[in-house]
Structure 1
Amino acid sequence: MASTTFSCISPPASPQLQPPPANQHRKKGARSTRGVPRSSLGAHQGQDAYLAKQKQLEEAYGKSAKSLATYQRYINQVRGWLADADPPVSYADGLDILGENSEKVCLFFLTHSFERLRAATLRGIYAALQWHFCVEHKCSAHVLSGWQKVGGTWSGNPAFSESILKLLKNKKRAENRERPLVKQSRPMLYPSLAIILAGIHKRLQPFSQLPGTLTAERTKLEFMHCYCILAYRLWTRCDELCKLTWGEIDPVTHVSKEGQKYLSVTLTFRKTNQIDPHKGREYRLFFLPGRPMANALEAVPRWKEYWSWIAARNPTSQDLVFPALHLKTGAFRMKETMGSNEINALLDELADIEGLADLHAGRFTSHCFRRGGAQDAVIYATNYGEQRKSLKAAQWWGGWSPSEHNETIIKYLMDEVRQGEHYCGDMEDTANTDNRALYFAGGATTQYSQDVQAIHQQIAQLNETLAQQTQALQRLASTPQPLPYPLELTLHLPGSAAQPVHIAVPPFPVLPQPPLVTHASAPGSAMPTSWPQQPTAAPALACNGVPHLASTGKPLPMRIPQANSVEDVVQQWEIGDPSIGFLPLRSWTSAMRCKGTGGNAMVFSLRKKIYQAYTKRGKSLRAFYQAYGGSKGMLKDYIRAIQKEARSTADH
């Protein structure tokens, strides 16, 4: 897309600010108290004493005053639980007297709170108990000290006993089992980025006819057009890109030795470099033919021209490339930087307009460009005609510290792909043409290599030929062939050498054919039976994720996979899972929902209820979560809320 020029744009007139009226009654040298609440006027008097007390607490206990107050509140909860116990417990003195009952108090209270509290809250109570025994009874603060009785004296810390540590570990494991696989921001892969950029271009077209108009909408669109492209290409964190200055972008377009143009951007203050301003990394951004919408060579000059028009001057080397915006007027706040909350709000607006919020699971945040750019370069590069980048190159380009483990980066890249794959036992099957990487990246599912296509065509032709020959043989075998009548046998009986004996034998009777019940998944018989069989079609080759078909041409039932979220239910209902040949639930017939195939009838009914509620809310995940208890609930919680809503509607 050709860049829009703003040469004929006249800069908007900046409002004239009037100085505040002078206070004639104020004494010389006195501070004004206008606009300051009376309750806060005396707060400065005790501020020094408060800071001194807080510093004293930190030096004495190594904890802030806020942490100590939280610990004390937890200890009071334990004491209250012991006081209200019915019947009274015999170990209630465990907090005040160090001994065998001290471990019992900690263990029984944590066990009592195991199910009703989250793991983070339970760890906070555990830390409070550990701190209590360290301060009140001078116990050890090292977990390796444990808790044991040596020579009649208890040593260590009751909070470090083996049973308590095992309890906390089990709580952590239980919470990990209930937690969804992906915790990070949803990656902004190129297919989704292209949709957002195309929507921005479409909404900017009316402004090209009115070049002198300044609106907040136009500024936000121009801002996000350049921000999205640079964040996606550079894999930046939000603060790294928001602190980028014009002095770090080379204004001259360079040409490589091969004649390719590129834009030079130097990122200085990344996470791996927060101190040295001379230690920066130069990034060369070329035009990518496979990803033409993410063209930094066009986006940066366009934004610079619009930036100059807004500021009514050319940017200096110290000016921010992406300063904070006045969301109502569209002007800049030059000395302030954008935060992640503002970027997330703009992304939510774009995703809602383009419909991406309902098509994808999760939410796009300011970190989505870093994940999406890294995954497109390392995992899905072949989708765009590029070579996959090595792990070393990804570590350098993404600004990861050399001390970070490779497992961290691999998990960062692979979590999104791991979420969707269920069965991978057929990954070496050359006839399986379903490309999982393309499917889970949001791309097409029909991009295969030429070798795999040729093999698939040959196998399909061979399968068709074998099916025709098998049908012909089965038709021949199933047709009865009566013998001629009468059949005369000439026998030479012993003792009758004179004349042979002629015996007429009737033909063999054609036995009636019993009904056959065949199943496409049943293996063929190893030995011929005495009953002539009906011709059956040869087993069809699984192709393009379609399961085997029965003789009626309809897909056979299969078990409905497990769903961990509403997004999984929507995908199972609308798309299915081509990687395992799972058809969309909306196309299932009554025969495919029979109970004999793993309880599909009830599972299908529950999936249908959730999808109907999702459709009732306009197919918006955000509206669904607002109506049925938030995005962190489980499927059974949503089903209860849906049933409760149905009952209340029926009562009215």
Structure 2
Amino acid sequence: GNPVESADVEDVMKAIKNKCGQDGRRAHSFFAMSKENMARIFSWSDQVCPPETYFAEAKTTGERTLRTKHLMYKAFSSTGWTIWTRYVGISHRRQYHLTVFFLSCRNFELIKLREGDLTFGLEDPKAFNTPYFELRLLNRKGWQRKISKAQRKQIFAPDLPACDAHHWLPLWRKYLQDVVYRRPLTPDDYIFPAIGANGVVQVGEHVSHEDVQKWITEFTTGAGVAQANGNFTTHCFRRGGAQYRFMFAPVGRRWTLRQVRWWGGWADGEHRDTLIKYLLDELGTYEDDYSGMLLPNRPDFDQTFLGEGSSITAATTGQLTLMHQSLSTEMR
């Protein structure tokens, strides 16, 4: 018979279709980590492991392991969300001589961050001596042909508590020095070291992609933000941060496409579809969501960008009536 119709080929095709849509495009199965979800996860973490206990004397190994994991996750996720680093994770499924590779991201950037890549105690004299620290990413994709192969980013304090790398990364670094290593960090020390099953930090080894993915699953499930029809992967921070700066930040504080391209480390000649995957796919999903059609005061998503027209137009008689009814109910 026709070898194309064999069971082996059908199994491989089924696996590919599960990863991609029927037309060959990637299915929407990996979600961006929104600012709101970041806040919910951090709030849940504060309940499980209160921040005031981070530097307290741990009575058991379990307490110390819990604090280390929660503080490390906060530093890792807020930094990834802020600087949009890439990660890599490869899984494969072998069918006789056929292997299907699924790539979730491109390369290691944040997990290989070292103490020597950070410079603290800086101030910007042009902005009233606003404090910041500098973070250097080496060999970013698309930067290999530039004169400087390192991309330097200045990290200031944003008005986003759960996405504040300016706060959480230095706090985690202090925890590493004072609680974990009990010594100053050397330039070769990994900022995010591997943690063994017994809670002991493995000096000289960086955290693995698999461990980060386990934490993401644990924290999103615990905070109740896990999605039924998809997954949060290590790529969710990069996508969430990029989409926020391009679409969801307050009006007047959104970034241009050129700024997004530079900050995300995309090469000048990289295909436009890459940026569309990060930015516009989520917008299409957002605008095509009609689950709230019965809402009396539903924003006008069809006519304006993200329904912004509803916030700048005059209130209608129907909206004023709803507001009056709500106020009357509250005052009774």
TM class by shorter-chain length? 0.7 to 0.9
- 1:226 is matched with which residue? 75
Alignment of 1:429-578 (within 5 A): 434=299, 436=301, 448-449=310-311, 451-452=312-313, 454=314, 456-457=315-316
Q: Which runs of 5+ in 1 are unaligned?
A: 1-80, 82-107, 124-170, 425-430, 465-542, 544-652
Select the structure of larger CA radius of gyration. Answer: 1
- 1:248 is matched with which residue? 117
Alignment of 1:201-600 (within 5 A): 201-205=46-50, 208=53, 211-213=56-58, 215-238=64-87, 239-259=108-128, 260-273=130-143, 279-289=149-159, 291-308=160-177, 309-328=179-198, 330-358=199-227, 361-382=229-250, 386-422=252-288, 434=299, 436=301, 448-449=310-311, 451-452=312-313, 454=314, 456-457=315-316
2:38 to 193, 205, 222: 193
Q: Which runs of 5+ in 2 are unaligned?
A: 88-107, 291-295, 323-332
In 2, Cα distance between the equivalents of 1:254 and 1:199?
Answer: 33
Which AA in structure 2 matches 1:434?
P
In 1, Cα distance between the equivalents of 2:234 and 2:15?
Answer: 31
Whether contact under 8 Å (1:187, 1:369) holds in the other structure is yes
Residue 435 of structure 1: how far off its partner (Å): 5.0
| DSSP-derived class of the 1:416 partner | helix
Give the number of equivalent residue pairs. Answer: 288
TM-score (norm 2): 0.74
In 2, Cα distance between the equivalents of 1:122 and 1:206?
Answer: 43
1:590-619 Cα deviation digits (max 9, x unpaired): xxxxxxxxxxxxxxxxxxxxxxxxxxxxxx
| DSSP-derived class of the 1:187 partner | coil
TM-score (norm 1): 0.39
Provide the identity percentage.
Answer: 26
Residue 327 of structure 1: how far off its partner (Å): 3.3
Residue 253 of structure 1: how far off its partner (Å): 3.6
Q: Which has the higher strand share?
A: 2
In 2, Cα distance between the equivalents of 1:253 and 1:176?
Answer: 51
How much is the aligned-residue C-alpha RMSD, in angstroms? 3.8
**Compared with structure 1, are the counterparts of its residues 296 and 180 closer, same or farther at alpha carbon in structure 2 (3 Å cutoff)?**
closer
| DSSP-derived class of the 1:377 partner | helix
In 1, Cα distance between the equivalents of 2:66 and 2:84?
Answer: 26
In 2, Cα distance between the equivalents of 1:207 and 1:404?
Answer: 45
| DSSP-derived class of the 1:401 partner | coil
Residue 224 of structure 1: how far off its partner (Å): 0.4
In 2, Cα distance between the equivalents of 1:423 and 1:307?
Answer: 44
In 2, Cα distance between the equivalents of 1:423 and 1:193?
Answer: 22
| DSSP-derived class of the 2:119 partner | coil
| DSSP-derived class of the 1:217 partner | helix
